[in-house]
């Protein structure tokens, strides 16, 4: 059972396609990370799935409800946090949450606001106007606002853009808590680390298309070969190590001039033991010797040809 | 397939909740009422003391003539606020938050318009109270006085759909007054609010005679000072209905276009 399903979504602004045939599927209770550079169509997709925007072609269902035919049923299931779906800056955090609770017809709108303010560590600031909040508090109140109706599906559109690392960790732990409660999350982000930390599945967008999809682990395996990294203890050994590596792998290693780390792609992990033996025979010691999967950063680079 | 339907009662409840938000904002930020409190007083003082002698040969006499019309003028200006508030909500993203909730589609618009009733009421109370201090006296009865106030507020509610429409069309909240004043100056000054139509050149008189603001001012004068109020009030209400019939659909269409 998929909480979010979309097929062939197309959205054009004039002649420019913002989305050019996007398919998405998020199983219930999972986190889908949508990665992509600015202008890749991430926000457009979220707005369509949140019933704020109508696609030119394609269909989308949330919790089994069609976003065009049954928008109210979809809205009853979702929560939305993004830079465009914000709260009223002139009102206090509490007033914003109570207003949303009233609009949703909650019998205990005030109590719900108190709960959420406490949960998001906003109890003290609850009666101050939102415009006086710090960036992290602001993001927390936006998140709280999207949770008033206890949504089953949550859209987080770049929830940590512009936040300091501490506030970012706070948002991450909130998201993990929601996932533990069974909420399905669609998260867009420009931060590969964020997707790696939170997402069960990752979809990579570029120019309005899905260019890759899978688990973070699958994506890393799919695109790149693994990399072997060696840092000789003595910098003078760099040429000798380079010779050994190119001898074994048949590829010219990349040497970082500052750190003296040599990196070379390897197809077969078994080569690692050969490298260890050859270094040993040559009497070279290494501070660092490792075989690793490419980072999502490198995955992204190899998929799109540009840094995220 | 379950379809959740939002009935009119729920829609009204949503609209009222959002109107309540508008009132909370006024309470927290009373200077947002400056345009409907200080401005009417300034208009009244300037016109009565600067032009009263020249136009009517006396300030007291002119005040009697001016007040009903200047009520209409201030309602017209007060309706600026609706378009600005809505445009602000859209540009700041507050609107998208509301639209992502399972509430009536029209609730944010209805809420904004209902909150404006308060602004209209404030501007009328300030004007009338200040005019009484300056010596204005209604010469009819309380019932007709009340009808005049209801007429003004109904007219304001109908007129603010022009403001909503413009608010949906322009990019930034700051552009709303600039655009609307181009409508409002000919409407308010090209009317019988400040001077009797008979004193104007023929071409201008023709415009003044069809201008809805003139009809409203004539009705308000009849209701406060006496005269044939039934016909003029009827015309005024008809004008208000006409404005809604034209600008409500235009505003709604611009709204749909803006938000999708």
Yes or no, beta carbons of B14 and A103 under 8 Å apart: yes
Pairwise pLDDT comparison (A296 vs A277), residue with the higher score: A277
| Residue A7 sits in the same domain as residue A130 | yes
- SS3 sequence, B5-49? CCCHHHHHHHHHHHHHHHHHHHHHCHHHHHHHHHHHHHHHHHHHH
| Residue A26 sits in the same domain as residue A85 | yes
Q: Rounded distance, CA A178 to CA A154, Å? A: 9
Chain B: residue nearest A74 by CA? B102
Using 50, 70 and 90 to split pLDDT, how confident is the model at B9? Answer: confident
Structural domain tally of chain B? Answer: 1
Say what the pLDDT of residue B1 is. 42
| Residue A248 sits in the same domain as residue A211 | no
Say what the pLDDT of residue A51 is. 94
B259 at interface of A, judged by CB pairs closer than 8 A: yes
Mean pLDDT along residues A203-210 = 91
| Residue A46 sits in the same domain as residue A88 | yes
ipTM of the complex as predicted: 0.83
- Coil, helix or strand for A107? coil
8 A C-beta contact, residue A211 and residue A303? yes
Model pTM score: 0.81
Buried b vs exposed e over B34-70: b needs ≥16 C-beta within 10 Å? ebbbebbbebbeebbeeebeebbeebeebbbbbbbbb
Which of B16, B22, B97 is the best substitution to test chain A (most A C-beta atoms within 10 A)? B97
Using 50, 70 and 90 to split pLDDT, how confident is the model at A38? Answer: confident
Look up the domain containing A59 and give its range.
Answer: 2-221
Count CB-CB contacts under 10 A for residue B32: 16
| Residue A254 sits in the same domain as residue A194 | no
Say what the pLDDT of residue A77 is. 96
Query: pLDDT at residue A304 above 80?
Result: no
Q: Rounded distance, CA B179 to CA B166, Å? A: 8
Mean pLDDT (chain A) is 89
| Residue A209 sits in the same domain as residue A142 | yes
- SS3 sequence, B221-254? HHHHHCCCHHHHHHHHHHHHHHHHHHHHHHHHHH
Question: B16 contacts in A (CB within 8 Å)?
Answer: none
| Residue A244 sits in the same domain as residue A152 | no
Chain A: residue nearest B12 by CA? A103
Query: pLDDT at residue A308 above 60?
Result: no
Distance of CA A57 to CAs A237, A251, B226, B239, Å? Answer: 60, 47, 63, 43
| Residue A282 sits in the same domain as residue A213 | no
B7 at interface of A, judged by CB pairs closer than 8 A: no
**Residue B1: in which H helix or E strand, if any?**
none
Chain A: residue nearest B101 by CA? A75
Yes or no, beta carbons of A51 and B6 under 8 Å apart: no
Chain B: residue nearest A87 by CA? B94
What angle separates helix A93-103 from helix A109-119, to the nearest 10 degrees? 130
Yes or no, beta carbons of A103 and B107 under 8 Å apart: yes
The CATH number of whichever domain residue A269 belongs to comes to 3.30.70.100
Mean pLDDT along residues A180-204 = 91
8 A C-beta contact, residue B48 and residue B66? yes
B217 domain-assigned = yes
Chain A: residue nearest B32 by CA? A90
Task: List, in order, residues 6 or more apart from A107 with CB less than 8 Å away.
Answer: none
* Among A174, A203, A221, residue at a domain's last position: A221
Question: A70 contacts in B (CB within 8 Å)?
Answer: 1-4
DSSP 8-state code for residue A129: B
Say what the pLDDT of residue B4 is. 63
Task: List, in order, residues 6 or more apart from A259 with CB less than 8 Å away.
Answer: A231
**What is the distance in angstroms between the Cα of A168 and the nearest Cα belonging to chain B?**
22
CA atoms within 13 A on the CB side of B213: 26
| Residue A198 sits in the same domain as residue A285 | no
Lookup: tokens for B44: 């009244």
Structure confidence by residue, pLDDT tens digits, B221-238: 999 998 888 999 999 999
B117 domain-assigned = yes
B26 at interface of A, judged by CB pairs closer than 8 A: no
Q: Which long-range contacts (CB under 8 A, 24 or more apart) does A288-293 make?
A: A288/A229, A288/A230, A288/A231, A288/A261, A289/A229, A289/A230, A289/A231, A290/A228, A290/A229, A291/A226, A291/A227, A291/A228, A291/A229, A291/A266, A292/A226, A292/A227, A292/A229, A293/A217, A293/A220, A293/A221, A293/A224, A293/A226
Yes or no, beta carbons of B100 and A85 under 8 Å apart: yes
Query: pLDDT at residue A26 above 70?
Result: yes
Structure confidence by residue, pLDDT tens digits, B125-170: 999 999 999 999 999 999 999 999 999 999 999 999 999 999 999 9
Chain B: residue nearest A51 by CA? B100
Q: Rounded distance, CA A14 to CA B52, Å? A: 57
Backbone angle region of A100, left / alpha / beta, with phi > 0 → left and psi within -120 to 50 → alpha: alpha
Structural domain tally of chain A? Answer: 2
Using 50, 70 and 90 to split pLDDT, how confident is the model at B16? Answer: very high
Pairwise pLDDT comparison (A160 vs A222), residue with the higher score: A160
Alpha helices, DSSP H, located in chain A: 42-49, 71-75, 93-103, 109-119, 135-147, 165-180, 192-198, 216-223, 238-249, 271-281, 296-304
Lookup: tokens for B224: 């406060």
* Among A157, A191, A221, residue at a domain's last position: A221
| Residue A188 sits in the same domain as residue A45 | yes
Burial of B222 (0-12, 13-18, 19+ CB in 10 A): buried
**What is the distance in angstroms between the Cα of B51 and the nearest Cα belonging to chain A?**
41
The CATH number of whichever domain residue A84 belongs to comes to 3.40.50.300
Largest separation between any pair of C-alpha atoms in chain A: 77
Using 50, 70 and 90 to split pLDDT, how confident is the model at A305? Answer: low
**What is the distance in angstroms between the Cα of B170 and the nearest Cα belonging to chain A?**
18
* Among A191, A221, A251, residue at a domain's last position: A221
| Residue A188 sits in the same domain as residue A114 | yes
Nearest alpha-carbon partner for A274 in A213, A230, A223, A224: A230
CA angle B55, B68, B129 (to 5 degrees): 105
B123 domain-assigned = yes
Yes or no, beta carbons of B25 and A78 under 8 Å apart: no
**Residue B146: in which H helix or E strand, if any?**
helix B142-169
B17 domain-assigned = yes
Say what the pLDDT of residue B257 is. 83
B1 domain-assigned = no
DSSP 8-state code for residue A38: T
Look up the domain containing B78 and give its range.
Answer: 8-259
Structure confidence by residue, pLDDT tens digits, B76-110: 999 988 899 899 998 888 988 999 999 988 888 88
What is the distance, to the nearest Å, from the Cα of residue B22 to the centroid of all Cα atoms in its chain?
Answer: 16
Structure confidence by residue, pLDDT tens digits, B17-39: 999 999 999 888 888 888 888 98
DSSP 8-state code for residue A76: T
Using 50, 70 and 90 to split pLDDT, how confident is the model at B3? Answer: low
B26 domain-assigned = yes
- pLDDT above 70: percentage of residues in chain B: 98
Chain A: residue nearest B103 by CA? A103
Yes or no, beta carbons of A87 and B6 under 8 Å apart: no
| Residue A138 sits in the same domain as residue A264 | no
Question: B14 contacts in A (CB within 8 Å)?
Answer: 103
Question: A48 contacts in B (CB within 8 Å)?
Answer: none
Lookup: tokens for B73: 């003028």
Mean pLDDT (chain B) is 89
B3 domain-assigned = no
Yes or no, beta carbons of A73 and B4 under 8 Å apart: yes
8 A C-beta contact, residue A82 and residue A49? no
Task: List, in order, residues 6 or more apart from A306 with CB less than 8 Å away.
Answer: A37
Those of residues 131-190 in B touching chain A at CB distance below 8 A are none
Query: pLDDT at residue A300 above 80?
Result: no
Yes or no, beta carbons of A70 and B6 under 8 Å apart: no
Considering only the beta carbons, identify the residue of A76, A89, A103 that sits closest to B92: A89
Yes or no, beta carbons of A72 and B3 under 8 Å apart: yes
Among A203-212, B52-61, B97-106, name the one with the lowest average pLDDT.
B52-61
Structure confidence by residue, pLDDT tens digits, A232-251: 998 889 999 999 988 888 88
Say what the pLDDT of residue A223 is. 65
B2 domain-assigned = no
- pLDDT above 90: percentage of residues in chain B: 47
Largest separation between any pair of C-alpha atoms in chain B: 74
Chain A: residue nearest B258 by CA? A53
CB pairs A-B closer than 8 Å: 92
Considering only the beta carbons, identify the residue of A75, A88, A95 that sits closest to B101: A75
Structure confidence by residue, pLDDT tens digits, A59-117: 999 999 999 999 999 999 999 998 766 899 999 999 999 999 999 999 999 999 999 99
């Amino acid at each position: 059972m998929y909480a979010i399903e979309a097929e062939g979504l197309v959205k054009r602004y004039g002649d420019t396609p913002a989305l050019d045939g996007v398919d998405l599927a998020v199983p219930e209770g999972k986190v889908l990370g949508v990665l992509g550079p600015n202008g890749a169509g991430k926000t457009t997709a979220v707005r369509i799935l949140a019933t704020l925007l109508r696609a030119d072609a394609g269909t989308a269902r949330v919790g089994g409800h069609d976003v065009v035919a049954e928008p109210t049923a979809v809205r009853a299931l979702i929560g939305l946090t993004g830079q465009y779906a914000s709260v009223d800056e002139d009102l206090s955090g509490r007033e914003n949450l109570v207003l949303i609770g009233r609009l949703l017809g909650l019998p205990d709108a005030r109590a719900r606001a108190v709960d959420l303010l406490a949960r998001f560590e906003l109890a003290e600031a609850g009666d101050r106007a939102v415009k006086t909040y710090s960036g992290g508090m602001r993001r927390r109140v936006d998140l709280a606002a999207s949770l008033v109706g206890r949504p089953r599906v949550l859209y987080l559109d770049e929830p940590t853009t512009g936040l300091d690392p501490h506030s970012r960790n706070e948002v991450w732990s909130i998201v993990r808590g929601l996932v533990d409660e069974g909420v399905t999350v669609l998260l867009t982000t420009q931060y590969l680390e964020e997707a790696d930390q939170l997402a069960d599945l990752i979809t990579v967008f570029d120019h309005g298309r899905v260019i890759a999809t899978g688990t973070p682990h699958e994506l890393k395996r799919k695109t790149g070969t693994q990399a072997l990294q060696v840092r000789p203890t003595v910098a003078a050994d760099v040429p000798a190590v380079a010779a050994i590596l190119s001898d074994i792998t048949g590829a010219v290693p990349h040497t970082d001039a500052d750190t003296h780390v040599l990196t070379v792609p390897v197809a077969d992990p078994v080569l690692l033991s050969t490298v260890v033996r050859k270094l040993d025979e040559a009497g070279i010691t290494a501070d660092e010797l490792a075989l690793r999967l490419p980072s999502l950063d490198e995955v992204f680079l190899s998929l799109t040809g540009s840094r995220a | 397939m379950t379809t959740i339907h939002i009935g009119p009662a729920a829609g009204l409840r949503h609209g009222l909740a959002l109107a309540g938000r508008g009132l909370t904002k006024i309470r927290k930020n009373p200077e947002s009422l400056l345009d409907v409190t200080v401005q009417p007083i300034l208009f009244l003082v300037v016109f009565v003391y600067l032009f009263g002698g020249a136009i009517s040969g006396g300030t007291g006499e002119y005040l009697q003539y001016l007040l009903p019309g200047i009520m209409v003028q201030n309602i017209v200006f007060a309706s600026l606020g609706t378009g600005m508030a809505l445009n602000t909500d859209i540009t700041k993203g507050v609107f998208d938050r509301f639209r992502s909730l399972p509430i009536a589609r029209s609730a944010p618009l209805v809420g904004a318009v209902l909150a404006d009733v308060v602004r209209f009421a404030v501007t009328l109370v300030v004007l009338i109270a200040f005019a009484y201090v300056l010596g204005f006296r209604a010469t009819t009865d309380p019932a007709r006085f009340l009808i005049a106030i209801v007429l003004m507020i109904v007219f304001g509610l109908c007129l603010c759909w022009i403001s909503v429409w413009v608010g949906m069309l322009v990019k930034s909240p700051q552009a709303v007054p600039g655009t609307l004043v181009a409508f409002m100056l000919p409407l308010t000054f090209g009317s019988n609010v400040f001077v009797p139509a008979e004193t104007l050149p023929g071409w201008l008189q023709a415009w003044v005679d069809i201008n809805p603001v003139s009809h409203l001012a004539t009705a308000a004068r009849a209701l406060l000072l006496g005269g044939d109020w039934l016909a003029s009030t009827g015309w005024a209400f008809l004008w208000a209905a006409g404005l809604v019939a034209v600008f409500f659909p235009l505003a709604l269409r611009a709204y749909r276009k803006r938000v999708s």
